[in-house]
Amino acid sequence: MPDLTPGQFQLVYNLLSLTVATMLAAGLFFYGSRAHVAHRYRPALLVSAIVVWIAGYHYFRIFQSWEGAFMLSGEGAYTASGAFFNDAYRYADWLITVPLLLVELVAVMALAKDEARSLLTKLVIAAVLMIAFGYPGEVSDNATTKWVWWAAAMVPYLYIYAALFSKMGPVIAANPGRVGSLLGLARNVLIVTWLFYPISFLAPVLGLGGATGEVFLQVGYTIADITAKAGFGVVIYMIAAARTEQEGHGATTEPLAA
Ligand SMILES: *C/C=C(C)/C=C/C=C(C)/C=C/C1=C(C)CCCC1(C)C
């Protein structure tokens, strides 16, 4: 790990801590909000809660790992302590949470069962390949290796974008009004927040090396994770609530325990 100024160390330290709190609170909100939506949409909110809780746990471990990887030197700089900073927590997290985020989205698209299953199967396979291809590049210090795995991961990544555009277009068109516009919002939030990952990944090979590169990478991934998990979950909740209202279910007539 490169030497960091106190400001650089604390920026990442505080942001990681804030992320743990945000993920746990978001999970409580999604879990509790199941009562406000029809039965059909409750699994989507449960999955949203599970995603942010898994992420909250991993952020806690990343936070501890970050704290342990540096020590304050006599000159007031944070130098590598020799302890390993474990970036694999992020990839382990993505491997579970990225497919689950796609489950959330497909659940509120309200497709026919067969169609939902076939779309989800393709999206989940693509998501797993994307993360698996990214990891060897992430942990390598070699620019060529990074580019090769980046390019490999871009294939399933672009496939997911294309599949969402072709499958969500007709669903959005078939739902004029609030549900359709919220589905469009969910798609845009996904597309825009997911852009951060392949860009942050490339920071070290685009000349952003050393301390600045490391801080940029950590801050980039962390902000993207908050938006793509907690922010995206809020949009999923809004879609579920709008569909519930549109379908004429009163939340109070469907108690949670069942
Ligand atoms: C909550 C975590 C999320 C939404 C993570 C998403 C991660 C990606 C979209 C990662 C994509 C990558 C590429 C497209 C190329 C380089 C390697 C990755 C894995 C960073």
Q: What angle do CA 34, 233, 249 make, to 5 degrees?
A: 35
**What backbone phi and psi angles, to 5 degrees, belong to 7?**
-65, -45
Per residue in 68-111, pLDDT tens? Answer: 999 998 888 999 999 989 989 999 999 999 999 999 999 999 99
Percentage, residues of the chain above pLDDT 90: 85
Query: What is this structure's pTM?
Result: 0.93
Interval between CA 88 and ligand 1 midpoint (Å): 13
Per residue in 177-223, pLDDT tens? Answer: 999 999 999 999 999 999 999 998 998 889 888 899 889 999 999 99
Nearest to 239 by CA among 55, 52, 48, 51: 48
* Fold (topology level) of 6-253: Rhopdopsin 7-helix transmembrane proteins (1.20.1070)
Taking the C-alpha atoms of residue 97 and residue 231, their distance in angstroms, rounded to an integer, is 14
Report the sign of the C-alpha dihedral through residues 184, 189, 192, 198, in that order.
Answer: negative
pLDDT surpasses 80 at 253: no
Q: List Cβ neighbours of 90 (8 Å cut-off, separation of 6 or more).
A: 58, 62, 221
- Token pair of 52, please? 């942010």
C-beta of 221 in contact with ligand 1 (< 6 A) = no
For the chain, the domains span 6-253
Residue 75 has a pLDDT of 83
Residue nearest atom 1 of ligand 1, based on CA coordinates: 225
C-beta of 228 in contact with ligand 1 (< 6 A) = yes
Say which residue, 205 or 10, is predicted with more confidence.
10
